[in-house]
Amino acid sequence: LDVIPIPLSAITVFLQLGSKYAIDQMRDEAIQRLSYEFPSRLQDFDELGDQLLLIEELPGLYYDVIKLARNHNIPSILPLALYFCVACEDFQPELILRGILREDGTLATLSSDDQQACLTGYYNLIRAQAAETFTWLEPNQNAALFRQCYTPKTCARTRAKLLQGLWHPWPRCIALGSWDDEWGNDMCKICTSQAITHHNIGRKKIWEKLPSLFGLPIWDELTKHQ
Ligand SMILES: [Zn+2]
């Protein structure tokens, strides 16, 4: 597999030809590229960089990937593709409903089922991230999680500031976001290590239920046939 990004349109052709003429190699390469960028295991997700490596990153890509996954029965890539549609800084429900302009002026759109999956998924993720990934920021968790802290007032104040920064004026969807070292800057070592532990436990839980947050079957079911 060359580590050169190729357009999704080429991957689509691989899949079409691969199925039509039973060329497994083409279908395999297409699925390898897609599975690399939209993995079904958290450890593979954690190894992804900021940019796509094997597929060209173009406007509307995620919508097209979702359509491709539906048309060619590659359900294992759906949870992350849907997640990337909503876990962006400037998430806009209008785009989910209206579509995104591709470079050639055509519109990349989602089916109404996938629009619904995105919008309910976004809402589910916002709720789930507060309860799981960021449970350590919940003010009422202080007593339970940070019992050993020597500077409880300072550390609680730090967490209150972080909570405000992340959730205000509206929450960003960062349910699968990794621990940011800056978050520990103004907390004691004990609190930081507790927070990291619970952050990681939380995002593992989010990963496990990611498909269900978008109304999809569990991971095992999605990866069964690949
Ligand atoms: Zn502390």
Tens of pLDDT along 36-60?
999 999 999 999 988 999 999 999 9
Distance from the alpha carbon of residue 178 to the mean position of ligand 1, in angstroms: 20
Q: Which residues surround ligand 1, an ion (CB under 5 A)?
A: 149, 155, 188, 191
CB count in 10 Å sphere of residue 8: 25
Q: What is the pLDDT of residue 130?
A: 94
In our burial notation (b when 16+ CB lie closer than 10 A, e otherwise), range 150-189 reads eeeeebbebbeebbeebeeeeeebbbbbeeeeebbebbbe
Give me 223's structure tokens: 């990866």
Distance from the alpha carbon of residue 194 to the mean position of ligand 1, in angstroms: 9
d(CA 206, CA 226): 23
pLDDT tens figures, 203-214: 999 999 999 999
| 121, 213 Cβ separation under 8 angstroms | yes
